[in-house]
Amino acid sequence: MSFEYVVERGKIREFAAAMQTANPAYDGEDAVAPPTFLASVALWTPEGTRPDAGFDRKRLLHGEQEYVFHGPLPRAGDHLQVEFRIGRRYEKEGRRGGTMRFAVLVTEFRDAEGNLVAEQRSTVVETAQAPKEDA
């Protein structure tokens, strides 16, 4: 399920202020969105559109964040279609025992013609359960 995300000039300015930058590229009618600005889509995501990795939220960690741009950075006024998917799942043995599970959550941003503008990849980790003590 996809939804529309409008890149707003005022939100770009607020994001730049939070980054403590005065770069003029982030201000004005044709402001460029800072590379990590797309993380703000989380604030505007309609309920039920994010995939569920099926992990125990009490053992969940944010492992990594990556952005891939397939052309120029989005600009103020762009209307992007956003869609989430689970890209990859894998497991590793934890150093203290137990199995850690990983999922790469992919967010795709497409323009009005359906061209892929950017991808956001977030790796989430479900930590291993503590090993049981021998009785």
Domains for the chain: give ranges and CATH numbers: 2-126 (3.10.129.10)
Q: What is the model's pLDDT at position 39?
A: 94
Q: Could you report the per-residue pLDDT of 53-105, keeping only the tens digit for each?
A: 999 999 999 999 999 999 999 999 999 999 999 999 999 998 878 899 999 99
Q: What is the model's pLDDT at position 75?
A: 97
User: How many Å apart are CA 9 and CA 85, to the nearest integer?
Assistant: 27
Q: Could you report the per-residue pLDDT of 122-135, keeping only the tens digit for each?
A: 999 999 876 566 55
Closest CA to 81 of 115, 49, 111: 111
Q: What is the model's pLDDT at position 98?
A: 87
Query: Which residue type, as a one-letter code, is found at position 42?
Result: A
Q: What is the mean pLDDT of residues 93-122?
A: 94
